[in-house]
Amino acid sequence: MMKNLIAPNVLELLKKIDLMKSKVPSEVQAFFDSALWEARFRRETGRDLRDLCLRRDRSSTHDAIFESVRPLGLIGHIMPGNSDWTPLLAILETSITGNTSWVKLPSGSSTEVILSQLKELGLDESVAVYTERNDIEELYKKSDAISAWGNESSLDEIRSKISSQTRFIAWGHRISFSYLTKWDDAASDLAAAIVKYEQQACSSPQVVYLEEASFDEAVSFAKELSQKLQSYSSSFPDIDDSSWAELSNFSETHFAESFLKEKMIIEAEDKSFRIVVDTNTAFEASILHRSIFIKTIKKNEIKEVLRPHRRLLQSAGINANPQDIAGLCEELFDAGVSRVCTISQMQEAHPMESHDGEFSLSRFVKRVTLSNPSLTVNALNLAQVDVAKTSTISTKSDFSAQKVENAHYYFKSGGSTSAPVLSPFMLQDYHLQMQVAADGLIAAGLNPKTDRCMNLFFGGGLYGGFISFTDILEKIAAIQYPMAGYVDTDFVLDMIVKENVNVLLGMPSYLINLFKLAEEKNIRLPVKKIYFGGEPFSESQRNWLKNIGVEIINSASYGSVDAGPLGYQCQSCDPGVHHVNTTIQKIEIVDLEKDEPVLDGQVGRVLVSSLARSGISIQRYQIGDTAKWINGSCECGDPSPRLLLAGRVGDIFKFGGSFINAQSIMKKLEVKELQIELKHIDLKDCLIINSPDVNTGALASLLELHDLHEVVELEKTASIEFKNTPFIKAISGKQPLVVDHRHG
């Protein structure tokens, strides 16, 4: 009786796969790479291993259709005895997809090695190992799928035993061949392909077709191939007596036939290899052990010769002129071949390639769908992965100290006054995070079916706002106008009116300025929804916008350049309140001065641990925000926790759409004492410098700072004032450098 198996912890398995890489032979090391398995899962199932919640169907995001993938359940593997590592690699495929499994090795096999491998990978409680047929008889009908390797007769025997409720995944023997339209330079590569693995692999060439060749040309090529094979003779392994008898009979038969028809056999003096040259185009399997057919074929005979064997065909190693490759490939694919490559690549398949024309991981999962129009949420989240408190709080300096050389996206992270700090993203992480943020936009009231969206976030200078929201809107197939924070506001206003744009996405400072210009020009904008980011709207700004027709003013996304999207607003959220993106982030709120969770209702520092970030570590990262938890359930039905943002911690703050460092202001003004206050005055951001040491040239000096000059002088979305009054003190008695009076 099989022991009770426990579903594998896939994320832990990925870590252990990486640790095992240095302990396996070089020929299988490529498979011991967590990034490979994550990439394969995305490629073969269309989902990310880190994001298996029920999410709105990507092809119809705006409908109430939710989709995901789930493991099949219990998978059986019936393995051949010709590879020490095939059983473990097969088990990894079912374990990565979340299944429990059992494996049947050939009778009499030792289980010591594979049991040790399973224990090292943490799969010893998820996989059962057997060697005798009697042990698995009852499992044929209990398993959700059985994956079997073998010849046709053995596969038929297994098929007859399994239940009609069980998915049968057969991996039978396949035959590969070479097809050459030119062959003057092909003998060396072909000899190496024949010798490698002793033709035991399904991808080893057994037949070589020479297109439009004469018999004499085929013989000449065979002689050249014979010389190349002879150069490997010292490395040929011994052959057992039964195989020798079979090989001798093969050679004698073809030698006798060579007297009767246009055929020739070339055999090594020590019988270590044999080449049969034949004008009969019929496809036939080799007897292996360095035995190869060389046949001539007419160009128009490819499909006629190969299609009767299409179920057995696998790889075709070709040698052709570049201009002929596309047409030749289509002919071979139509004939039944699943893989075309160069001769030297026949047995060098990339781990990401399909196997016999199939994506194997997709055969070990099932697609699941939920349709429920009453649901307004955009993802039915799985239980949040807990991040153990095993590390200290990390800061901006810890983040910037990490070196990432192979990221795909680099965005400028705000707050630096000298060399910019770049935030690196792997492509797969970036797109997952954009999808999560896109779902958040729908929760906030955006309707991709009917809304016409203009993206007014700023772009350029490695700033991620504009490009991110272009991708976010693309994820939900929304109609969009990628305008960016364009300086020609007359053009922007004109396009909003002409194109009946009803949704604007951008920075509050830019949007407020846009609406004020429209008011001055007596232009009525058709805008009904605003999704903002980067800085808050004040209550007065919200009221003003709603008085002129805007119905929804919600956060486009709560996030940071370093950590990515952290939360989103649903239509039931009050200003400043956000649901946490629990599928990709773990958020803690700790005391302002101690590393302890805040009490109910208390404001604390926001710490982020990313669950969907590779290449860089974001663990308990203090992003500079303060917040408090909101108790109770949300009216929207989303069970994810909610937090209320309460301002920034430290010296870096957002002003007029740009990040400003308070230390850079102190340095520029050359003052010893200073406090910065931030307010909304006349619907604009106002930066108030409170210091007894400020001189008459202070404003001109500050405007030499690029970001301040841009928002105050060029964009006119903010202002600067000076005063000399007693400094504001915190409750703790400390004197904060920055006091933010804005709310949003």
Long-range contacts of 680-683 (CB under 8 A, 24+ apart): 680/538, 680/540, 680/541, 680/741, 680/742, 681/719, 683/512, 683/516, 683/538, 683/540, 683/541, 683/544
- Residue 270 is predicted with a pLDDT of 85
Distance CA 235, CA 273 (A): 12
Distance CA 586, CA 599 (A): 18
| Class for the domain spanning 657-740 | alpha beta
Distance CA 176, CA 171 (A): 15
Both tokens of 393, joined, read: 């709080």
Q: Average pLDDT of the chain?
A: 88
Average pLDDT over residues 94-120: 92
Higher pLDDT, 440 or 2: 440
pLDDT more than 70, % of the chain? 95
Both tokens of 284, joined, read: 């036939």
- Residue 417 is predicted with a pLDDT of 41
pTM for the full model? 0.75
From 58-67, 234-243, 272-281, 582-591, the region with the lowest mean pLDDT? 58-67
Q: Which fold has domain 175-345?
A: Aldehyde Dehydrogenase; Chain A, domain 2 (3.40.309)
Q: Which fold has domain 10-172?
A: Aldehyde Dehydrogenase; Chain A, domain 1 (3.40.605)
* Tens-digit pLDDT profile for residues 405-429: 889 999 988 643 446 788 999 999 9
Please report which confidence band the pLDDT of residue 384 belongs to, taking 50, 70 and 90 as the band edges.
low
- Residue 81 is predicted with a pLDDT of 67
Q: Which residues contact 561 (CB under 8 A, 6 or more apart)?
A: 411, 412, 413, 414, 423, 464
Domain ranges of the chain: 10-172, 175-345, 657-740
- Residue 251 is predicted with a pLDDT of 80
Nearest to 585 by CA among 569, 605, 570, 564: 564
Higher pLDDT, 740 or 340: 340
* Tens-digit pLDDT profile for residues 297-308: 999 999 999 999
Both tokens of 225, joined, read: 């191939």
Distance CA 466, CA 460 (A): 8
* Tens-digit pLDDT profile for residues 22-59: 998 888 888 999 999 999 999 999 888 888 888 877 56
Distance CA 91, CA 16 (A): 14
Nearest 5°: phi and psi at 488? Answer: -85, 80
